[in-house]
C-alpha cells in the first residue's frame, strides 16, 4: 500500500481525537462505532507518552470494523522498534492491517526521560526506521508516517514512509510540501476546528486547545518558514495566526478550510474538534455531512 493507496483508503477527512484515547470505556467504543457508521473511518489518536496507546488501538479497531486507526504521533523514545512492530503484527492478526503508526522524535527531555541520547533528530529517526525495517515482524513503509515539519524530516518521510502528518500548519504548508515531495507521498495535516461563529469565543477555544504549542521551538521555526514573525508568535498566538491555524465558524466555514488544504495538495485532513469537554459527537455528525462534497477534491 503506497501513499496514494493509503490516501484512497482514508478518504478526504478523518477524526483526530484526544477523547478516543481511553478506548476501554464503553462510551468511547460507542462513539467509534458511530463514526464508523457515519463514514468517518480514519480515526486518529495522539500517541502522547505511548502508555496504553496500542491497547486503545485494539479497542478502536474492534469497535469500528471498517475503520483505519492511526497514531499521530508516537514518540520513538518510549517503545523499541521491535516492540512496536511486533504489537502491530498482533493487531493485524486480530483485526486485519488497519493500523498506521505515525512516528515523531519529540524533544530532548523525552529522550532523556527514557534513557536515550536525542542526538541529531534526522539520524535518530533514520536509525529507528532501520530498527522497524529489521524487526522480526517488520512494519512496512506503507503503514507508517512521520510527524515531520522541517525539510530534512519531510524528505526522510517521503523516502521511507507513506508520508507526513504535520501538526499546527495552515493550508499553505500543504501546498509547499506537495511541491517539494511530489505527488506520491501522503500529506495528512492535523486541522483544529471550533464550531462557533462568535470570534471571541472561537479564538479563546482555539488558544485553549493549541495555543501552548505555539511557544514550542519546532513549531515556531516552522511558522517562521511560512512567513509568520514575532508579532504573531506571542503567547497564544496573534489573531492572524490563530485564524490561519484553527478553522472556526459554521460547518460551511470548516468545510471551506478543509477544501483549502485539499486544493493545496493535502490528501487527507485529520480534524480535531476543540471547545468541548466531552466526546464531540454532535460536531462529528455535522462533519460527516460535508465528507461527500469533499470526496475527490484532492484528485
Is residue 11 scored above 80 in pLDDT? yes
pLDDT in tens, 51-78: 789 999 999 999 999 999 999 999 999 8
What is the CB-side half-sphere exposure of residue 114 using CA atoms within 13 A?
A: 18
pLDDT in tens, 126-178: 999 999 999 999 999 999 999 999 999 999 999 999 999 999 999 999 999 99
Q: Please state the pTM of the whole predicted model.
A: 0.95
Q: What percent of the chain has pLDDT over 70?
A: 98
Cell of 20: 478516543
Per-residue pLDDT band at 299 (split at 50, 70, 90): very low
Q: What percent of the chain has pLDDT over 90?
A: 87
More confident residue, 296 or 142: 142
Q: Where are the domains of the chain?
A: 3-188+250-294
Nearest Cα to Cα of residue 251 among 278, 291, 206:
291
Cell of 19: 477523547
Nearest Cα to Cα of residue 51 among 6, 143, 113:
113
Cell of 227: 512567513
Cell of 51: 502508555
Alpha carbon 28 to its chain centroid, in Å, reads 19
| Burial track 247-260 (b if 16+ CB lie within 10 A, e otherwise) | bbbeeeebbebbbb
pLDDT in tens, 267-276: 999 999 998 8
Parallel, antiparallel, or unpaired for β 13-16 and 190-194?
A: unpaired
What distances in angstroms separate CA 186 from CA 39, 114, 145, 195, 292, one per listed residue?
20, 30, 8, 27, 20
Per-residue pLDDT band at 23 (split at 50, 70, 90): confident
pLDDT in tens, 197-236: 999 999 999 999 999 999 999 999 999 999 999 999 999 9
Is residue 190 scored above 60 in pLDDT? yes
Phi/psi of residue 91, nearest 5 degrees: -65, -40
Return the pLDDT at 268. 97
Per-residue pLDDT band at 114 (split at 50, 70, 90): confident
For the domain covering 3-188+250-294, report its CATH number.
Answer: 3.20.20.30
Of 3-7, 33-37, 148-152, minimum mean pLDDT range:
3-7
Return the pLDDT at 63. 97
Amino acid at each position: 500500500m503506497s501513499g496514494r493507496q493509503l490516501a484512497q483508503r482514508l478518504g478526504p477527512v478523518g477524526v483526530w481525537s484526544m477523547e478516543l484515547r481511553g478506548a476501554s470505556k464503553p462510551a468511547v467504543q460507542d462513539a467509534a462505532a458511530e463514526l464508523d457508521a457515519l463514514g468517518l473511518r480514519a480515526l486518529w489518536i495522539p500517541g502522547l507518552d505511548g502508555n496504553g496507546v496500542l491497547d486503545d488501538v485494539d479497542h478502536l479497531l474492534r469497535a469500528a470494523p471498517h475503520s483505519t486507526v492511526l497514531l499521530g504521533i508516537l514518540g520513538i523514545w518510549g517503545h523499541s522498534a521491535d516492540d512496536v512492530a511486533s504489537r502491530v503484527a498482533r493487531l493485524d492478526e486480530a483485526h486485519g492491517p488497519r493500523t498506521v503508526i505515525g512516528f515523531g522524535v519529540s524533544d530532548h527531555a523525552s529522550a532523556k526521560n527514557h534513557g536515550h541520547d536525542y542526538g541529531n533528530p534526522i539520524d535518530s529517526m533514520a536509525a529507528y526506521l532501520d530498527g522497524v525495517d529489521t524487526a522480526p515482524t517488520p512494519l512496512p513503509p506503507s503503514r507508517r508516517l512521520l510527524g515531520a515539519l522541517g525539510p530534512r524530516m519531510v524528505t526522510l518521510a517521503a523516502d521511507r514512509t507513506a508520508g507526513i502528518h504535520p501538526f499546527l500548519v495552515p493550508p499553505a504548508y500543504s501546498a509547499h510540501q506537495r511541491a517539494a515531495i511530489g505527488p506520491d507521498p501522503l500529506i495528512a495535516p492535523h486541522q483544529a476546528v471550533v464550531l462557533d461563529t462568535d470570534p471571541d469565543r472561537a479564538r479563546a477555544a482555539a488558544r485553549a486547545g493549541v495555543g501552548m504549542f505555539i511557544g514550542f521551538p519546532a513549531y515556531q521555526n516552522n511558522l517562521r518558514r511560512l512567513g509568520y514573525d514575532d508579532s504573531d508568535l506571542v503567547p497564544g498566538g496573534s489573531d492572524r495566526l490563530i485564524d490561519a491555524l484553527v478553522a472556526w465558524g459554521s460547518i460551511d466555514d470548516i468545510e471551506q478550510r478543509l477544501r483549502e488544504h485539499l486544493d493545496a495538495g493535502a490528501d487527507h485532513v485529520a480534524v480535531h474538534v476543540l471547545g468541548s469537554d466531552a466526546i464531540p459527537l454532535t460536531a462529528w455528525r455535522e462533519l460527516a455531512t460535508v465528507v461527500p462534497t469533499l470526496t475527490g477534491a484532492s484528485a
